[in-house]
Chain A
Amino acid sequence: MSEFTLTLIKLAFLAVLWLFVIAAVGVIRADLFGSSRAAARAAARSRAPRPARRPRPQRAQQAPQPRGPRQLVVTQGDRAGMTIDLATGGTITIGRANDATIVVSDDYASSRHARLFAQDGQWIVEDLGSTNGTYLGRNKVNQPTPVPPGVPIRIGKTVIELRP
């Protein structure tokens, strides 16, 4: 076995080692960002009647800073169909109180139930100590949590969603 071949084998093995690390980091990366991509796909599926929109949804997910979600849609509850333009920014509050942005008449919602606010180009949902809790997807919101587009936020009988 010549010196040159052995050097090549040595370098190839080091490359394999590093590829393994890169693959492992890739799995972590998919764990962190993949779910929001999958959520966007699922959201796109559930909105089949309007397939013409969003030609390249993945690009939009990977660069959330310049182009975040543009509107908030109430998909279920007595306010279903209501949309709010997010471009103006500001905090959106949800609850039974009259000064809330989205006023719901729902026994399962608190007066000041939850709020949504933008931070560093991301929308964050925060539960305001409601009685029955706020759910992002299937998880209860215990602390301010970033909201990926397409994932439903459930407040009592009302479900809202962010859409690009």
Chain B
Amino acid sequence: MSAAPDQVPLPNQPRKAACLALLVFAMVMTLAAFAEVGLARDGRIPAGLLGYGGGLAVLAGAAYYVQARFAPYADPLLLPLAVALNGLGLAMIYRLDLSTSRDVQDAIRDGKKVVTSGLASAGTQLQWTFVGILLFALTVLFLKDSKILQRYMYTLGACAIILLLLPIVPGLGAEINGARVWIFIGPFSVQPGEFAKLLLVVFFAGYLVNKRQAMSLVGRKIGPLALPRGRDLGPIMVIWIFGLGILFVQKDLGTALLYFGLFVSMIYIATQRISWVLIGVGMLALGILVATQLPFLGHVNQRLSIWQNPEPYFDGGCLLDSGKVVSVAPGTEPYIAAGNTVGSGLAACAEMGGKFADSAQLMKGLFALGEGGVLGKGLGQGEPWRTPLAFSDFIFDSMGEELGLTGLMVILLLYALIVQRGMKTAVSARDPFLKLFAGGVSFVLALQVFVIVGGVTRLIPLTGLTTPFLAQGGSSLMANWILIGVLVRMSHQARQPAPQAIQDEGMTQVVSLR
């Protein structure tokens, strides 16, 4: 009786070979990207190919070993997809990091003084990739059972709030590019919000697992909508409003949107009630309406105005109280009248009593996409550096210029596949907490990609969020690698076979839990 089932393969088998093959493919892709950059930009295979590509290959191999050894049933796609995205981002940053180019290196060798003003740094990004993959390995190693996190959900929720509050602390936080989301620890600047994102998912998942039945069954019915009791909703609303309040103070609208979407989607997953989505969309509309009316949130209005009509803002535009936009770009009358120097646009706008904004970055990004067309210029052959922050916020547009629509579709598909594997993990997980956790983590990744990619392609108003795995930045890389580590761990738990009965028969069975 016990022999027959053993001959039938399990539906979920370890797919180590497939994982390794895809990982090797991802490495080949990354090395090809580096080679193409080198050949097109410098006319030779780049000297950094061994350093960067080899470094990434060793890291990916180590990550594969940890996954194959400690989470053999893990989904075979997550790690290779993340490595592929990270590798492509690294190649693009290498391409934008002018200090790696042949001209600059020759000049340095000849003893000439070189000034490279670029902020893109492939070396730093490789170091952060190293840290990120290390964190991935540690997550897979030590997070033996993701359910442990459920025990610490209130602690982790409090940690998320503290992390969000940190940038407001004077002396620790600082405002960069209009958003107060960084803290400085020694020489490093860290975005704590990236990590708070993961902690909040844990908190929401843990809380909703306990309360989901009360939330979906008990409550008042108003028309077709079933509203839950206040006491079920209270704590989660408090933490949510608190989080959003912090974000409004920090003027980080992208992250606020991200948390809001996370909140709505996780309640929807937990209760399976469409009324929550309707309530969420209604609250979002209300929130935007309120934000446009509040005087101290003037930048929201401006964002919307730039989104609807970016042209007058190019190189500087002034939004008057009447709602009219006057261009104060260099060469225009107000600019010359205000002194015709750097900053004259701002001065001219202040004189007119309007609010100054500049859409040049967004529009240059759009020009880059247009320049790329369907097939792109080819890596190393476009001019993506013309867009400010082409290596971080606008790396998607840089990719669009050099890889074209064909390449962008691949990048979006890679994200979609990661999200699909995450959702698959959520569907096949046996534990409701893990279901919610995996679902929330996948959704937050999808929403983040949507908000930033939608922003730089002018589908939705531009808000600052990092492009996961592609954009330069340590915090984002570390947080996203931890996210992949958690997903790998959860997919291992979801896909490994159920504990086998050692005895054949009987009411009491001895099962092996390992």
Measuring CB to CB, which residues of chain A are less than 8 angstroms from any residue of chain B? 1, 6-7, 9-14, 16-21, 23-25, 27-28, 30-31, 35, 38-39, 42-43, 45-46, 75-76, 135, 137-140, 150-152, 154, 157, 159
Contact = CB atoms under 8 A, between A and B. Distances in A.
Nearest to B379: A13
A31 B406 CA distance: 27
Contact of A27 (B1, B7, B77, B410): B77
The residue among A1, A13, A24, A45 with the most chain B CB atoms within 10 A of its own CB is: A24
B40 A1 contact: yes
A9 B36 CA distance: 7
Given A16-B32, A35-B13, 10 more contacts: A9-B36, A9-B39, A10-B376, A13-B378, A14-B410, A20-B84, A20-B410, A21-B413, A137-B5, A159-B4
B378 A7 contact: yes
A9 B378 contact: yes
Interface residues of B, number: 48
Interface of B: 1, 4-5, 7-13, 15, 18, 21-22, 25-26, 28-29, 32-33, 36, 39-40, 43, 76-77, 80-81, 84, 375-379, 381, 403-404, 406-407, 410, 413-414, 417, 420-421, 497-498, 500
B33 A152 contact: no
Contact of B18 (A12, A17, A30, A151): A30
Contact of A10 (B10, B12, B375): B375
Nearest to B420: A28
Given A20-B84, A152-B8, A13 B18 contact: no
A54 B88 CA distance: 47
Nearest to B421: A28
Q: Interface SS of chain A: helix, strand, loop or mixed?
A: helix
Nearest to B19: A27
Contact of A1 (B21, B43, B500): B43
B29 A16 contact: yes
Nearest to B406: A14
Nearest to A30: B18
Contact of A76 (B1, B25, B375, B379): B1
Contacts of A28: 77, 417, 420-421
